[in-house]
Amino acid sequence: MTAPVLGLLVLAKAPEPGRVKTRLCPPLAPAEAADLAAAALLDTLDAVCGVPGGRVVVALAGRVSSAVRAVELGAALRGVVIRGQRGPDLGHRIAAAHHDAAGLLPGRPVLQLGMDTPQVDPALLADAAGPLHRGTVDAVLGPATDGGWWTLGLRDPRAAAAIADVPTSRGDTGERTVHALRTAGLRVGLLPELTDVDTAADAVAVARTAPWSRFAAAVAMLPALTSGICRNDEFAPQNVPTRGENAVASGVRGC
C-alpha cells in the first residue's frame, strides 16, 4: 500500500436531532436539521476520501448509532480512522484533533475541515493542499463568508496549538486565526472564500452551488427551505465551480 502524503482531518458531530444545526430551527424541525447535517457530513466524507494520496481521520463527537442516517454514516466511516474529540471548547478541540493527526501521520501535512461545506470536492481539497506540499507556505486558511474559516491546512499539524485560544463563531474569527498563525511564525496562504451552512439562507445558497450533492437533494425535500421564505437572491456568488473543475484560484495569496 502506498504511504499517504496528506492527512484529511474532519471535525464532525454525529447528526443527532437537537444536537446539530440548531440555528436552522426554526424554520426546520430538529430531525430535519439533523438530516441536513447528515447529508453534509456524507458529502464531506465523499470529498475527503476521494483525494489522491490522502488518509482520512475523523475527530468525532456524539454517537453515530443515535444519528440520522446512522446506517449510511456507519458504512461511510468504516474505512476511516476515528478519534474522539477532546478539549473544553472548539479551539482546543481543533488543536487536539491536529495533535492526534500528527501522531497518526508523522511528517505529513494535514488539511482540516468541518461538516458545514458539502460543496467541496476532491479537486478543491487537493489543490488547497498544494502549497503545503510545495513548501511555499506553512499554513493555508480558507475564509468563510461569515468571518470564520472553512478549512485549515498545516505542514506541521502540531502548530494548531497556536489557535487553541482563538475565539470561534465570531465575525473576526478568520482574521484572528491568521493573526495567531503569523504570530507563531508561520507563513500563511489564503484559499478561496466559501459559505458554510449555519442558517437556513446559507443552506439554500450552498445547495445551489452543489446540485449533485446529497445536501442539495435533502434541501429540495424541505418545503420550509424551498417555498421561498429562506431564499436570498442577494447572496454573492461563490468561487466554487461545478464538480471536477479546478476550484482554487491560481496562486495562493500570502499574508
pLDDT digits (tens, 9 = 90+) for 62-97: 999 999 999 999 999 998 999 999 999 999 999 999
Q: Is 178 part of any domain?
A: yes
Q: Is 1 part of any domain?
A: no
pLDDT for the residue 19 = 95
Tell me the Ramachandran region of residue 17: left when phi exceeds 0, alpha when psi lies from -120 to 50, beta otherwise. Answer: beta
Does residue 52 have a cis peptide bond before it, meaning omega lies within 30 degrees of 0? no
Instruction: Give the mean pLDDT of the chain.
Output: 90
Least confident interval from 76-80, 158-162, 193-197, 227-231: 227-231
CB 128 within 8 A of CB 140: yes
In angstroms, rounded to a whole number, what is the distance separating the alpha carbons of residues 67 and 64? 5
pLDDT for the residue 248 = 38
Q: Is 20 part of any domain?
A: yes
Q: Is 221 part of any domain?
A: yes
Q: Is 113 part of any domain?
A: yes
State pLDDT tens for residues 149-169.
999 999 999 999 999 999 999
Q: Is 98 part of any domain?
A: yes
Residue with cell 484559499: 191
pLDDT for the residue 3 = 73
- Domain of 154 in residue numbering reads as 6-254
Q: Residue 73 to residues 55, 69, 130: CA-CA distances in angstroms?
A: 18, 6, 29
CB atoms within 10 A of CB 234: 6
Phi, psi of 35 (to 5 degrees): -65, -40
Tell me the pTM. Answer: 0.89
Strands 253-254 and 188-190: antiparallel
State pLDDT tens for residues 82-140.
999 999 999 999 999 999 999 999 999 999 999 999 999 999 999 999 999 999 999 99
pLDDT at 186 over 80: yes
The alpha carbon of residue 159 and the mean position of all alpha carbons in its chain are separated, in whole angstroms, by 19
CATH of the domain at 240: 3.90.550.10
Q: Is 177 part of any domain?
A: yes
pLDDT for the residue 252 = 38
Count of residues making up the chain: 255
pLDDT for the residue 22 = 95
Q: What is the dihedral sign for C-alpha 175, 38, 217, 124?
A: positive
Residue with cell 478543491: 124
Number of domains in the chain: 1
pLDDT band for position 29 (cuts 50, 70, 90): very high
pLDDT at 229 over 90: no
